[in-house]
Amino acid sequence: MEPPQLGLIEQSFNSRYSNWAREALDELPDNFTITDPCISGHPIVFASRGFLKMSGYSRDQVVGRNGRMFQGPNTCRRSVMEIREAIREERGVEISLLNYRKDGTPFWMLFRMAPVFGKDEGRVIHFVAVQVPILRRRQRRRNGEGLCGEILSNSCRREVCSSSSVELAGVSAADSDCRALEIEEKCEASDTEKQLAATAISNVLSVLTHYSESTGRLVCEKRFGPSLVSSSLHISLGRIKQSFVLVDPHLPDIPIVYASDAFLRMTGYARNEVLGQNCRFLTGVDTDPSALHQIKQSIQAQQACSVRILHYRKDKSSFWNLLHISPVRNATGKIAYFVGVQIEEGSVDRHGLSPEMRQLSVVGSIKVAVRSSSMSYSIH
Amino acid sequence: MIGKGKVGCQRGRQVADITAIHGVTRPLIHVRSVRRKLDIIQSNPSAHGGRGALPSEGGSPSDLLFLAGGERMMLRIKRVPTVVSNYQKDEGEDAARRGGGCGRNCLQKCCIPGAKLPLYTFKRAEEIPGDKCVLEHDDNQAPVAFLDSLLLGQWEDRMQRGLFRYDVTACETKVIPGRCGFMAQLNEGRHLKKRPTEFRVDKVLQPFDGNKFNFTKVGQEEVLFQFDASEDGEVQFFPDAPVDADSSPSVVAINVSPIEYGHVLLIPRILECLPQRIDRESFLLALYMAIEAGNPYFRLGYNSLGAFATINHLHFQAYYLAVPFPIEKAPTRKVTTLGDGVKISELFDYPVRGLVFEGGNTLQDLSNAVSDACIFLQDNNIPHNVLIADCGKRIFLLPQCYAEKQALGEVSSELLDTQVNPAVWEISGHMVLKRKKDYEEASEENAWRLLAEVSLSEERFEEVKALIFEACSYTLSEKEDEHLTQGAGDDKPPLEGTGSINKGRNCNMVSGTQECLVLQ
């Protein structure tokens, strides 16, 4: 999977928070990451110094990548599933998780994640994840134990938590064999560690809310207002690499409520220029009105159709669009959206799938995503 | 039956006591306070139904049939079989079609020559330790894998061609409020208002019957693509490959009565007409499919005969549903780790008792552990269901006894009236309901109560579990003997108790975890 362009990552952060935000976040001693669920792949857009130290990676190796890079063979799959579902449901989660450093060594940490909502959008724009390493407190019958025990009881908790992974490894070298056996068992965090996590999350969230004021694009910890397309649906749709839009037939003038990155690239528009608009901006002087009519009829009849239509990009250049339109139902069984999948005539698929098959697979993926994401009663 | 025969012969008598499906009359009142020597598992007063807990209130719609003559009591139930193909007819109707050349483009000798279908070939995992699956795709945030795309596109194509009996996306569905998150769907079109057919439920292994419906009779338009291992170790796709009967192709076909979007059937080596029973090669194929699709919401399921498989032609089912299944969320308790790295856990706080298989040094190890467990169950006539989840990383094995109870009139009419046949999807927490009343009144309590009836009782599950472990470790012992490894486990104490045949044999369980004591 190619990491998303750095430009998108930068923009994810910079468009929301002022320049001072980075400095303020860098001053926090906590280990945390900030991720953007609206960028395909749900990548990390910011990693704190503490986090990089803890994991052993450099900033370049982490920003743009997904959090699963820190998982490994002994990471509990159920826990991973819990986190995945929390993301999907746009809520927070706190769970112990086994992660792996760059050098391959595993370590237990308390993972606490919280959503950040955009005030205008009413949906999640970032997730903040805090990681507090969980230290073993078990009594061990080995020589190294005394040393380990002393360090744990004498050091200030905060310092131990943010100490480098090298130091931690040094402390536990004597009982590494013992740890290996235990590493598989679920590790519960202490109250102190949970408190640390709570404080860290709070620190990060206050920085973010504070520094979003100056950009005018406010963020907050709680959802504000109804959302058009939920963030969980965004994540699912973000997996689809082809060009498509979702339009809402229940709203006046059937506006676009979702546009894929590929659509924006194909047409040359920016996302904020197309969201809320009817698709007619794609048509121009030489567009055949009968094709438009066919589209309109299919939507009214609630049926799928394929048309070959002349469309125009933002720069006024035209292209032949093999457009496929299909109704998409949600969990109520009723039509929620229509999807339009665009293929530029003459483009070739590297797998040898015909354009029709490619389009149908997009439709299928979207149908699954829309139906599933609307099933939970909590989303309604 | 390599080696398994030995297990079966020596332990035959004990196994008969477990399911009691063999013709031994056993009391309907189950003794719940069985305690064994060194058995540290406490007998909880359980919310589960257990055997014989709910006597039929009389007037039960299920028929109880006895076969006169011979010692064996044959158990049968009546149910309306699900129609999975547009070419699946009542046996009577099928017999009427005769004459050469069926003319409907099926997969039998009449139509196979010259047939072409898309072909997807997957890369086999190398047998080396380490991550065996493409980790890039194990997430709902990774790009859509190609197999995923192919399957969805082909399925949508058949949708638009009108091959399905109804539009499943037009069926209302919801997550039932509660901590488990059971899913319910109102689907009035799935079940036919037809005369119920008899199903024999007391034999998990039944020979293939060419006269009955099987998947070689489906029309080629219902087949989406062929699915096999690649010859040269690369993933490849051929949009239009000839169907080569000699290569024994495996195919993916649509289920024309889908439970959810993308509901397909994986039919291993379709032309060989294998009966519904697990073998190592076929199970591995199913596992590969889960991995290749790379989508944690694309799950595969298997129902044995006696556990609500409709058709006695080897097949797995699969579909997409992008929500977590209750069974996936259920907590588990680790029981043991096999010598080849496969971790086996047990579900707890879930209405159906079952095992979860994970890990393994190689993909084959995981696949074989589950296959061997299934083979043991089917050889010993214990109906079971299997769910492959989390892109093949977690596999659930659930022995069940609902059909047996139904045949013996032990299920309440209230539950029977819902006409829910608890197969793998229902057990995993996804219920398809045919009556609006049931859908509207669906509650976590009701779902739990239904599924509790499906579960083996605690005592019986413990017995079956212990025997499964013996079967798995027995197989591993054989493997070690074959490779002439010395000293592996020689210094480990033999397992004690319950007439274990492992006395003196290599113990392949990793010692040191308390849970190991269960076997002693």
Q: Quick check: A1 contacting B, CB < 8 Å? A: yes
Looking at residue B513, its pLDDT comes to 36
Q: Do B152 and A360 touch (CB under 8 A)?
A: yes
Cα four-point dihedral sign A270, A276, A277, A279: positive
Contact present, B298 and B318 (Cβ < 8 Å): yes
CB atoms < 10 A from the CB of B29, how many? 10
Across the A:B interface, residue pairs with CB atoms under 8 Å apart total: 147
Q: Give A331's contacts in chain B (Cβ within 8 Å).
A: 172-174
Higher confidence at residue B64 or residue B479? B479
| B315 catalytically annotated | yes
Predicted confidence (pLDDT) per residue in A122-140, tens digit: 678 899 999 999 987 653 3
Q: Do A377 and B152 touch (CB under 8 A)?
A: no
DSSP states of B298-346: EEEEEE-TTTT---SS--EEEEE--S--HHHHS-EEEEEE-TTSEEEEE
Residue A224's pLDDT band (boundaries 50, 70, 90)? low
In chain A, the percentage of residues whose pLDDT exceeds 70 is 82
Nearest to B502 by CA among B463, B482, B459, B472: B472
Residue B86's pLDDT band (boundaries 50, 70, 90)? confident
Distance, in Å, from the CA atom of A313 to the CA atom of B374, rounded to the nearest integer, reads 58
Residue B102's pLDDT band (boundaries 50, 70, 90)? confident
Residue A301's pLDDT band (boundaries 50, 70, 90)? very high
Length of chain A: 380
Q: Which of residues 104-123 of A touch B (CB under 8 A)?
A: none
Q: From A235, which residue of chain B is nearest by alpha-carbon distance?
A: B141
Residue B441's pLDDT band (boundaries 50, 70, 90)? very high
Q: Which residue has the tokens 């520094």?
A: A211
Distances A350 to A23, A354, B238, B310, B363 between C-alpha atoms, Å: 44, 10, 12, 39, 29
Q: Quick check: A376 contacting B, CB < 8 Å? A: yes
A193-202, B74-83, B500-509: range with highest mean pLDDT: A193-202
Lowest mean pLDDT among A38-47, A244-253, B150-159, B192-201: B192-201
Q: Do A1 and B142 touch (CB under 8 A)?
A: yes
Q: Quick check: A96 contacting B, CB < 8 Å? A: no
Higher confidence at residue A292 or residue B114? A292
Contact present, B85 and B217 (Cβ < 8 Å): yes
Q: Quick check: A302 contacting B, CB < 8 Å? A: no
Q: Quick check: A28 contacting B, CB < 8 Å? A: no
User: Burial level of A333, CB count in 10 A (0-12/13-18/19+)?
Assistant: middle
The answer, yes or no, to whether residue B154 has pLDDT greater than 80, is: yes
Distance, in Å, from the CA atom of B422 to the CA atom of B325, rounded to the nearest integer, reads 15
Lowest mean pLDDT among A369-373, B32-36, B213-217: B32-36
Structure tokens at A279: 């698709």
Distance, in Å, from the CA atom of A92 to the CA atom of A95, rounded to the nearest integer, reads 10
Q: Which residue has the tokens 């169950």?
A: B377
Distances B143 to A2, A61, B489 between C-alpha atoms, Å: 10, 20, 45
Q: What is the mean pLDDT of chain A?
A: 82
The answer, yes or no, to whether residue A13 has pLDDT greater than 90, is: no
Q: Closest Cα of chain A to B333: distance in Å?
A: 11
Tell me the one-letter amino acid at B504: G
Q: Which residue has the tokens 């799959």?
A: A77
Q: Which of residues 309-338 of A touch B (CB under 8 A)?
A: 326, 328-329, 331-333
Element holding A149 (H helix, E strand): helix A144-154
Q: From A233, which residue of chain B is nearest by alpha-carbon distance?
A: B322
Q: Quick check: A363 contacting B, CB < 8 Å? A: yes
Q: Quick check: A98 contacting B, CB < 8 Å? A: no
Q: Give A363's contacts in chain B (Cβ within 8 Å).
A: 152-153, 156
Residue B156's pLDDT band (boundaries 50, 70, 90)? very high
Q: Give A332's contacts in chain B (Cβ within 8 Å).
A: 172
Q: Give A303's contacts in chain B (Cβ within 8 Å).
A: none
Distance, in Å, from the CA atom of A69 to the CA atom of A63, rounded to the nearest integer, reads 11
Looking at residue A123, its pLDDT comes to 72
Q: Give A88's contacts in chain B (Cβ within 8 Å).
A: 140, 322
B315, B384, B430, B483: the active-site residue: B315
β-pair type (B183-186, B236-242): unpaired
What mean pLDDT do residues B276-294 have? Answer: 96
**Preferred mutation among B137, B140, B175 to probe A, highest tally of A CBs within 10 A:** B140
Q: Which residue has the tokens 């192919």?
A: B150
Looking at residue A143, its pLDDT comes to 41
The answer, yes or no, to whether residue A111 has pLDDT greater than 50, is: yes
**Preferred mutation among A84, A368, A377 to probe B, highest tally of B CBs within 10 A:** A368
Q: What is the pTM of this model?
A: 0.77
Compute the half-sphere exposure of residue A338: CA atoms within 13 Å on the CB side of its CA.
Answer: 28
Predicted confidence (pLDDT) per residue in B3-17, tens digit: 333 333 333 323 333
Q: Closest Cα of chain A to B475: distance in Å?
A: 25
Lowest mean pLDDT among A93-97, B380-384, B456-460, B484-488: B484-488
Distances B318 to B33, B105, B357 between C-alpha atoms, Å: 40, 24, 19
Q: Give B262's contacts in chain A (Cβ within 8 Å).
A: 364, 368
Q: Give A354's contacts in chain B (Cβ within 8 Å).
A: 239
Higher confidence at residue B514 or residue B471? B471
Nearest to B114 by CA among B244, B278, B294: B244
Q: What is the mean pLDDT of chain B?
A: 76
Q: Do A360 and B171 touch (CB under 8 A)?
A: no
Predicted confidence (pLDDT) per residue in B39-84, tens digit: 323 333 333 333 332 333 222 233 333 333 334 567 788 877 888 8
β-pair type (B223-229, B116-122): parallel
